[in-house]
Amino acid sequence: MTVKQITAQDELKNILEQEEALLLKHSLTCPISSDAKNQFEKFTGQTELPAYIIHIQENRELSSLVAEHFDIKHESPQVFYIKNGEVKFHASHFDITAKKLEEVTK
């Protein structure tokens, strides 16, 4: 599935209303984030789960809103598996792997 960039609060609201979704908070300047994005895209290329990305430098407020909404400390990179509006799994940095995403979304 194609990863869609989100930039607005209403797009985040729509994600929270979906049955399942993946969300990646991505830093455009961090090599660790680049590796995590590659792992995220590797997994999303093999699944039908809706997948979204926030570029944190361009959307700091939206990135902060995610942290506040889920009461999960902001990190970058950071991935969330959201099911029925709740985070069922989240990870950051080197813990973001295609294999781990496959395991937690089964």
Q: pLDDT tens-digit profile of 3-53?
A: 999 999 999 999 999 999 999 999 999 999 999 999 999 999 999 999 999
- Dist. CA 43–CA 46, nearest whole Å: 5
Structural domain count of the chain: 1
Structure tokens at 68: 């506040």
* pTM, full prediction: 0.95
Q: Is the pLDDT of residue 2 over 90?
A: no
Q: CATH code at 76?
A: 3.40.30.10
| Count of beta carbons in the 10 Å neighbourhood of residue 56 | 22
- Is residue 60 very low, low, confident or very high in pLDDT (cuts 50, 70, 90)? very high
User: What residue numbers bound the domain in which 23 lies?
Assistant: 3-104
Structure tokens at 74: 């902001």
Among candidates 16, 106, 6, which has minimal Cα distance to 63?
Answer: 6
51-55 vs 86-92, strand pairing mode: unpaired
DSSP state of 22: E
Helix (H, G, I), strand (E, B) or coil at 5: strand
Q: pLDDT tens-digit profile of 68-103?
A: 999 999 999 999 999 999 999 999 999 999 999 999
78-83 vs 20-26, strand pairing mode: antiparallel
